[in-house]
Amino acid sequence: METKKNDLSKCFDLPSLCPVFNIRAASRIITQLFDEILKPSGLQSTQFAVLVGVHIFDTPSINKLAKGLVMDRTTLTRGLKPLENEGLIKIVSGDDKRIRFVKLTPKGKTALEKTLPYWEKARSVVSDEFGQKHLDGLLKDLASVREIKN
Amino acid sequence: METKKNDLSKCFDLPSLCPVFNIRAASRIITQLFDEILKPSGLQSTQFAVLVGVHIFDTPSINKLAKGLVMDRTTLTRGLKPLENEGLIKIVSGDDKRIRFVKLTPKGKTALEKTLPYWEKARSVVSDEFGQKHLDGLLKDLASVREIKN
DNA sequence: TAATTATAGGTGTGTATACACCTATTACAT
DNA sequence: ATGTAATAGGTGTATACACACCTATAATTA
């Protein structure tokens, strides 16, 4: 008889064709590479991205910053703590007492300037490792993953 | 005079050409999508991947499993705890007292079988959202990111 | 065989992630 | 004006992540 068994042979497809496995593994590797190179700056990849977001969105609310960084709001809340403790950002209120704005301090601005060269270095390492054209394609694909959310 | 100012205009390049920002954001989105679809199975994406790894590497040591899943060993150690508590895996020792093998229990095997259809569903959603060909290319790129580590 | 080195793995700490649930404030409708 | 919606944000909890550092056991070598 032909057994319709829900067997486990499909498991062997995971390394080659599972999106979540592949993207998480790649994410870990890229993050480690960047964190290693950013180390002398004192910032981690995510913290750097948050500071950049605070700069380019120009003292945004928590919500706006979270949206801009494609992060969960509550994740961002926790992530802001160490930056605030280090004095790199300051949380300020306005007229609407619900809203809290994230402001880059002078110290935060300095940290950002100091980190940018390491960021460029890390990018060039990835680019060398990967090929500029290849990397451009990957970045475009990753950006389009963000579209799924909408 | 020409000021060589290390200004912050480069910050605006982050969304379009920062590998770590893009891959982390994409990773969060894909993970949320999978976790949402896997939810009825009771497993999260990472836990599913660990169980798959335990199956395909056939009762591996912690180290072998970590390497196979491209994970840090200590991350894996913590991640095994909930699976052990749920009785999906069992940690066993052999002759070499240093080595601990991760074994799939019958309950773990059942959980894996139960989860596979949800995994296929999630893959098809990503594939539809993304286009099969496009996705294949992305997966190949992500797999080649893993090569950086070597 | 005793000292050394290599291997396997766990723990402390701190950050990253996000769901479920909560409060406070503002805007809106009756 | 008052009750209700919508909006902004924080907290509890649990997992994910990984570096630095530790112990235990096995393998190697002097």
At residue B149, the pLDDT reads 76
A17-119+142-146: CATH topology is Arc Repressor Mutant, subunit A (1.10.10)
SS3 state of residue A135 = helix
Alpha-carbon gap, residue A61 to A122, rounded angstroms: 29
Number of A:B CB contacts under 8 A?
188
B49 touches chain A (CB under 8 A): yes
At residue A4, the pLDDT reads 47
Neighboring chain A residues of B134 at a CB cutoff of 8 Å: 141
- Mark residue B38 as left, alpha or beta (left: phi above 0; alpha: psi -120 to 50; beta: remaining): alpha
Among partner residues A14, A56, A71, which is closest to B11 by beta-carbon distance?
A56
For domain B17-132, the question of CATH label 3.40.50.620 is answered with no
Q: How confident is the model at residue A2 (pLDDT cuts 50, 70, 90)?
A: low
Most A-contacting residue of B114, B134, B145, B149 (CB-CB within 10 A), to test interface: B145
B6 touches chain A (CB under 8 A): yes
Unique residue bearing structure tokens 């300095």: A110
Query: B23, exposed or middle or buried, with CB in 10 Å at 0-12, 13-18, 19+?
Result: buried
At residue B4, the pLDDT reads 47
> pLDDT of B12-54, one tens digit each?
999 999 999 999 999 999 999 999 999 999 999 999 999 999 9
The answer to whether the CB atoms of B70 and A145 lie below 8 A apart is no
Give CA B114 to chain center in angstroms.
19
Alpha-carbon gap, residue B115 to B58, rounded angstroms: 18
> pLDDT of B2-14, one tens digit each?
544 568 999 999 9
> pLDDT of B55-73, one tens digit each?
999 999 999 999 999 999 9
